[in-house]
């Protein structure tokens, strides 16, 4: 619901539990008024004053004036007295800065507009979604800025984006274009983000805010292993279950900046959007530029409350795949079992073992094409290697399907090997700067997806492969950051647009392939979680969380990712020990419980398992099939954090609506001698109900389980896992 107080120039956007309010100072400057608990009306809101202060600049605004540095801006700009980091910046055709843009008009629309070329949250008929569109204009340059605010009451979510329009006669260059800018008072808040590195994705970072700018972001061409396009500010006392949190996630897969700036006046400015360090965009007369969408969540129910709002909106209104609500198949991937060394015949024992365990999908990873015996050749040459697979993909797929499994395939569509037919035919099709070297990463170069002809050819080549065999799953990998980000095909004045144009090209390729092959489940990957973001999830409903498959490391990675992303989106596999990435040896059962807690599969040579592990694997598969709907679609609750205390414990649970059934997972990393019993406090159960632990005679009331807690068995050693199913009696 959107309420307008036209007399005072105040707008209140409300969901079921949240309100977001803004107003117009002197009818011209959009200012932030409220983002928090739901307001019944705008009556209690007042526009801020901005008194003169030493060294303040009083800027003419409407019929009055304002100290912009003291105003809580909705879309702050620099050069006119606001000295904080701006949300947008532009120069005119004479390279003079465009200093101001004032309110010109506003409208309220039912539903929400699509964002041209960008993934975004969708609305549905009858869901009550509304959009406020504010139009700002700079008179001298005729630059228009359209600010879009969409309310999705059912999901308790608000989205924001901006569109810049050059309605003048001369070109305009944008150098900043954030998706989100919010100014608010600081109340001892902490900044919360997800950072890390390859193999250490999604570390939960939480710290107080000193005066100055605190930011995370990416300049690597993709959202990256090092930072996730998400930002939250939380009360210092906020826990998983209690406390105020304001958070935003960016629906974007390229360079981004997430920043909180605390001023000397103890005000906060939140910024989220495309990273301005690698961004520039020329707006010719009549052209427009649209920012990626930001999803805003407010809750008083702690981090779990925040997560469940993100999970619901991403799963139900951002993901486009027909597999969004379908059970995801349990798969086995051959990579860690064989790497590049396999043949048609050597793969069949893995398939046979998988069939015997009830696994549903076999995925053939890297090495099936061109002359690909290592990572030095053949990317871009998507033709089957007949030496390894003499009967072709169709022959191998026939063998797999005859054994009752579906067939999946690995691609890396955005890359080209210097040693490849594609590169020899089109050496200019990679990102490069003429006259300079072309350094490789993992022996490969990045195709220039800012060019339509490159995208067209990759679409054609991949479609030919997908049409040649009954492929039901595609793993889309991306194993190199972007460097030398320039496209010689663009005119000189537009070459700084390459980074964003690359992302637009990527989305176009993904959209065309997923739309033309809706029967295929596409899964994202970038050396694991290097591009785990909401933009990718719009096209691919699951992503490989990390190349680090160690069970202990995955506790932190999966816990961190769950802050924003649905459990159904997080791929997790049981792999061999000693672990390939860290060398750790963990029990087979523990590896299974960690993987079962997400989108479940295997990545090891199943044919070489001993009898005990074969039996355990089959039991895991059977359990997952029985409870898959709850794990992939149920409510997820984090209970104990591996980021707190000594980091030796983690726990989470899944619940059906109404608390009739729950799955509980608890992990003990290092055992301790002479330890008292551990009680795990559960949530989201019926306090008056009675619950039985499946497979035992233990009965408990919901109040007992949520108060005193569930008593866990003493761990028998390091890296122990416990799982139980609770059913209401």
Annotated catalytic residues are 477, 547
Per-residue tokens: 17: 């539990």
User: Is there a contact between 386 and 380 (Cβ–Cβ < 8 Å)?
Assistant: no
**Residue listed under structure tokens 């999966």:** 558
CA distance 442 to 452: 25
Cβ-proximal residues to 312 (8 Å cutoff; 6+ apart), any chain = 155
DSSP string over 78-103: SSSS--SPPSEEEE-TTS-B----EE
Cβ-proximal residues to 272 (8 Å cutoff; 6+ apart), any chain = 178, 179, 180, 229, 231, 248, 250, 256, 257, 258, 259, 294
Instruction: Determine the distance from the C-alpha atom of residue 114 to the mean position of all C-alpha atoms in its chain, rounded to a whole number.
Output: 19
Residue in 488, 351, 356 with CA at minimum distance from that of residue 430: 488
Cβ neighbours, 10 Å, residue 2 = 16
Phi, psi angles (nearest 5°) of residue 462: -70, -40
User: Is there a contact between 618 and 356 (Cβ–Cβ < 8 Å)?
Assistant: yes
Strands (E), 201-344: 203-208, 212-217, 230-234, 245-251, 256-262, 267-274, 281-283, 288-290, 293-299, 331-333
As to burial, measured by CB atoms within 10 angstroms (0-12 exposed, 13-18 middle, 19+ buried), residue 540 is buried
CA distance 255 to 540: 19
Q: Bridge-partner residues for 22, per DSSP?
A: 11, 32
Residue in 464, 475, 375 with CA at minimum distance from that of residue 420: 375
User: Is there a contact between 666 and 712 (Cβ–Cβ < 8 Å)?
Assistant: yes
What Rg do the C-alpha atoms of the chain give, in angstroms? Answer: 27
Q: Bridge-partner residues for 724, per DSSP?
A: 664
Is residue 64 within a helix (H) or strand (E), and if so which, with residue range?
strand 64-67
Instruction: Determine the distance from the C-alpha atom of residue 175 to the mean position of all C-alpha atoms in its chain, rounded to a whole number.
Output: 25
Cβ neighbours, 10 Å, residue 693 = 16
DSSP string over 161-229: EEEEEE-SSS-EEEEEEEEEEEEEE-SS-EEEEEE--TTSTTEEEEEE--SEEEEEE--SSSS-SSB-S
CA distance 530 to 131: 33
Sheet holding 649-655, edge to edge: 635-640, 649-655, 661-668, 720-728, 690-693, 699-701
As to burial, measured by CB atoms within 10 angstroms (0-12 exposed, 13-18 middle, 19+ buried), residue 96 is exposed
> Is residue 578 reached through a cis peptide bond, with omega within 30 degrees of 0 on the bond before it?
yes
Residue in 555, 551, 620, 557 with CA at minimum distance from that of residue 579: 551
CA distance 228 to 69: 30
CA distance 194 to 556: 11
């Amino acid at each position: 619901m959107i309420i307008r107080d036209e007399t005072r120039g105040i707008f209140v956007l409300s969901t079921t539990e949240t309100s977001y309010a803004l107003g117009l100072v002197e009818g011209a400057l959009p200012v932030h008024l409220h983002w928090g608990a739901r307001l019944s009306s705008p009556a209690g809101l007042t526009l801020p004053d901005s008194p003169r202060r030493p060294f303040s600049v009083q800027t003419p605004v409407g019929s009055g004036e304002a100290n912009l540095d003291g105003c809580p801006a909705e879309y702050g700009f620099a050069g006119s007295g606001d000295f904080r980091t701006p949300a947008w910046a532009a120069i005119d055709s004479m390279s003079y800065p465009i200093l101001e843009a004032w309110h010109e008009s506003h409208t309220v629309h039912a539903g929400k507009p699509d964002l041209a070329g960008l993934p975004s949250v969708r609305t549905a008929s009858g869901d009550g979604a509304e959009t406020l569109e504010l139009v700002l204009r700079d008179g001298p340059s005729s630059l228009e800025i359209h600010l879009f605010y969409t309310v999705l009451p059912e999901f308790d979510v608000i989205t924001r984006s901006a569109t810049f329009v050059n309605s003048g006669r001369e070109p305009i260059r944008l150098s900043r274009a954030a998706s989100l800018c919010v100014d608010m008072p600081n109340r001892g808040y902490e900044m919360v983000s997800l950072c890390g590195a390859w193999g250490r994705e999604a570390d939960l970072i939480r710290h107080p805010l000193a005066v100055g700018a605190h930011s995370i972001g990416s300049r690597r061409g993709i959202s990256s292993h090092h930072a996730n396009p998400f930002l939250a500010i939380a009360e210092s006392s906020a826990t998983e279950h209690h406390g105020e949190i304001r958070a935003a996630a960016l629906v974007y897969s390229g360079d981004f900046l997430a920043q909180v700036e605390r001023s000397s006046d103890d005000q906060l400015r939140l910024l989220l959007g495309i990273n301005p360090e690698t961004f520039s965009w020329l707006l010719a007369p009549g052209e427009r530029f649209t920012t990626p969408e930001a999803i805003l969540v407010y809750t008083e129910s702690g981090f779990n409350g925040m997560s469940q709002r993100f999970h619901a909106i991403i799963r139900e209104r951002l993901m486009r795949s027909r597999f969004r609500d379908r059970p995801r198949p349990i798969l086995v991937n051959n990579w860690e079992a064989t790497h590049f060394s396999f043949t048609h015949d050597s793969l069949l024992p893995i398939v046979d073992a998988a069939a015997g365990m009830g696994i549903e999908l076999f995925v053939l990873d890297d090495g099936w094409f061109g002359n690909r015996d290592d990572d030095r050749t053949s990317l871009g040459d998507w033709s089957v290697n007949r030496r390894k697979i003499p009967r072709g993909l169709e022959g191998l797929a026939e063998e797999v399907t005859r054994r009752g499994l579906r067939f999946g395939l690995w691609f890396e569509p955005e890359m080209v090997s210097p040693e490849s037919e594609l590169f020899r035919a089109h050496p200019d099709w990679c990102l490069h700067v003429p006259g300079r070297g072309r350094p490789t990463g993992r022996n490969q170069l990045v195709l220039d997806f800012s060019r339509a002809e490159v995208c067209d050819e990759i679409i054609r080549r991949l479609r030919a492969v997908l049409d040649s065999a009954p492929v039901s799953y595609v793993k889309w990998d991306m194993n190199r950051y972007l460097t030398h980000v320039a496209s010689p095909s663009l005119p000189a004045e537009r070459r700084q647009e390459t980074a964003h144009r690359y992302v637009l090209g990527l989305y176009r390729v993904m959209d065309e392939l997923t739309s033309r092959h809706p029967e295929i489940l596409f899964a994202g990957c970038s050396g694991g979680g290097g591009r785990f973001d909401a933009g990718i999830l719009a096209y691919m409903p699951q992503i490989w969380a990390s190349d680090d498959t160690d069970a202990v490391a995955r506790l932190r990675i999966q816990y961190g990712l769950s802050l924003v992303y649905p459990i159904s989106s997080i791929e997790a596999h049981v792999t061999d020990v000693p672990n390939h990435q860290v060398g750790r040896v963990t029990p087979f059962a523990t590896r299974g419980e960690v993987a079962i807690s997400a989108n479940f599969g295997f990545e090891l040579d199943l044919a070489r398992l001993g009898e005990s592990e074969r039996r355990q694997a089959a039991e895991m598969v059977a359990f997952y099939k029985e409870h898959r709907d709850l794990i992939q679609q149920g409510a997820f609750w984090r209970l104990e954090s591996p980021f707190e205390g000594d980091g030796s414990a983690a726990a989470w649970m899944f619940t059906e609506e109404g608390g009739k059934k729950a799955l509980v997972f608890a992990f003990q990393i290092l055992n301790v001698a002479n330890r008292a019993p551990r009680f795990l406090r559960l949530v989201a159960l019926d306090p008056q109900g009675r619950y039985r632990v499946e497979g035992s005679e233990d009965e408990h009331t919901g109040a007992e389980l949520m108060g005193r807690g569930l008593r866990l068995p003493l761990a028998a050693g390091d890296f122990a896992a416990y799982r139980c199913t609770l059913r209401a009696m």
